[in-house]
Amino acid sequence: MKTSPNEKINATITINARSIIGKIDPMIYGHFIEHLDGCIYGGLLEKKRKNGTTRWQIRNGMIEKIKAIKAPVIRWPGGLYADGYHWRDGIGPIEKRKTKPNYYWRFHGPVIGPPDPNHFGTSEFLAFCRQAGTEPYININYATGTIEEAAAWVEYTKHISARKKERGGKNTSPVKYWGIGNEIYGLWAFGHTKPERYAKRYISFCKAMKKVAPNIKFVAVGNGNLKSNWNRRVLEIASDWIDLFSIHIYLPGAEHFPAYFAKKLFAPEDAYYSMVAAPLVVENTIDAVHSTIMKISGRHIPIALDEWNVWAHPLQLTHGRYTLTDAIFAACTLNILQRKSDAVGMANIAQLVNVLGVLQAGNKGIYESPIYKVFKLFVDSCGENLLKCAVESEKFSAQRLGLIPAMKNVPYVDANATAHRNGDVTLTVVNRHNSQSITANIKLRNFKPKKNAKLSIITADNPDARNYFNKEDVSIAKQTVSVHSSSFTHTFPPHSITALAFAKSSR
């Protein structure tokens, strides 16, 4: 039930600064790049001419943008693309590498699946990760590749490591995380098979690759479709070899074209509330998959949510079209991932550049989407430990939209409290209401704040606000607010994402 325009909305947020209920895994802030449309060629990379030769090189300003959001891990080369990619095509002198068809995405047309010049191969990806200060995560070719090819790929990364005199070592690889296949459960995927066959072949890949580098960890293909028996069967056979269990979630799912057209028929307010309620689908899926893991394996296997995002428009297959509404979805999802760090060991938003990208890049430069702003706010503001945080808030209902079911009793306010190593506390608050401010009574238990708190806020005139190359309607505003005691009120604007950072008083 939604409130009337003139009704005042209140909430209560109670934080216990001495009650740490979990450690937040920084790997939940990860990213993903795939050889799809302009994500890599024309996005992450741009053509540069040097010494009479034109080559693809990392775009000016890109590394700085990625460092600014402290990306902990980046997944590559796919995605669905990975199960048609042969890594040897992308090694050796650039001028000798052959352009190959984009084996998966070419079926969707030349815009989505242009030929791959193979200028961005394994060594280039690892060099990019070093520059960006991020952990590399490689997804191998399970479908059209071989076990021997995968093991040789691990060996090649060791060779690069030794050559660059970095971490090196006789049996170590600079790549810790290796995914074995992508969405193999789906009819749309190369190598589609039954869970029993996947699990048995998965083990064979693991054994061969582990012989080359015992330090590596494996990510197995899981299924976010809770009606499928895929997860149960894969875990029954292969759980001893699984280090992380992958699931993918896109909402409302614009690949389901009826969802897109249904949204067009919705009243704008109804479509908005469906989207900002959608993170609860992410939470329910994580809970269900984690429960299955514990029941079948009997041990903790972290989930890798290594593809997640809003996918609300068909054109997002070529470029991001994110609004403030999508930023609210992302903020609520990050709040959930913080609360579920006991179940989720990695998350990778899809994608980093252009295609569904949090960054948009082209001839005019780079611009930051509203979702990028959310990542910036979270990594700059949030602490390492999750605190007990009780929220009392009025609630609303949302209609079904695509893969988002109809929902009731969704709180207008979503909040997390985190603690920093120095004892400071940060409160992140999302006001989901599309038109009304919410005044919250904030109670800081077992914590005496300094008189001034730092506030960072993302909002705009309306939930449909977007950013462009030459215009930024959604940004992070910073200010200082007065805090006179451990119990005070603060008003959060409509459709807003706020971080309140409290420094601990020494008195």
What's the confidence (pLDDT) of residue 224?
94
Neighbours of 302 (CB within 10 A): 21
HSE-CB for 404 with a 13 A CA cutoff: 31
Give the whole-angstrom CA distance, residue 205 versus residue 243.
14
| H-assigned helices in 191-316 | 195-212, 230-238, 257-265, 268-277, 279-297
Both tokens assigned to 74: 């980046």
- Give residues with Cβ within 8 angstroms of 231, minimum separation 6: 222, 223, 245, 289, 292, 293, 296
- Give residues with Cβ within 8 angstroms of 53, minimum separation 6: none
- At what angle are helices 122-132 and 147-164 packed, to 10 degrees? 50
Both tokens assigned to 208: 């061969």
CA 99 to chain centre: 30
- Counting as low any pLDDT under 70, the low residues of the chain are 1-7, 162-171, 254-265, 507
DSSP assignment letter at 493: P
Least Cα distance to 435 among 98, 114, 116, 5 occurs for 5
What's the confidence (pLDDT) of residue 145?
97
Both tokens assigned to 220: 């197995």
What's the confidence (pLDDT) of residue 317?
78
Residue pair 162/170 in contact by the 8 Å Cβ criterion: no
Cα–Cα distance list, 33 to 7, 79, 114, 224 (Å): 45, 8, 15, 20
Give the whole-angstrom CA distance, residue 31 versus residue 62.
14
Tell me the three state secondary structure of residue 443: strand
Tell me the three state secondary structure of residue 460: coil
DSSP assignment letter at 404: B
Helices then strands, each counted (H, E), the chain: 10, 25
Both tokens assigned to 204: 């064979």
Which region holds residue 208: left if phi is over 0, alpha if psi is between -120 and 50, else beta?
alpha
What secondary structure does DSSP assign to 43-86, as a single string? TTEEEEEETTEEEEEEPTTHHHHHHHTT--EEEES-SGGGGG--
Both tokens assigned to 105: 């995405």
CA 35 to chain centre: 17
The residues with which 481 forms a beta bridge, in sequence order, are 453
What's the confidence (pLDDT) of residue 473?
96
Give the whole-angstrom CA distance, residue 24 versus residue 381.
13
The residues with which 308 forms a beta bridge, in sequence order, are 249, 349
What is the number of residues in the chain?
A: 507
The answer to whether the bond into 314 is cis (omega within 30° of 0) is no
What's the confidence (pLDDT) of residue 168?
46
What's the confidence (pLDDT) of residue 507?
66
Tell me the three state secondary structure of residue 5: coil
Return the C-alpha torsion angle 163, 165, 167, 172, nearest 10. 30
Give the chain's domains with CATH numbers: 10-21+385-502 (2.60.40.1180), 22-381 (3.20.20.80)
Give the whole-angstrom CA distance, residue 388 versus residue 21.
6
What's the confidence (pLDDT) of residue 170?
59
What's the confidence (pLDDT) of residue 2?
56
Sign of the alpha-carbon torsion through 94, 100, 104, 109: positive
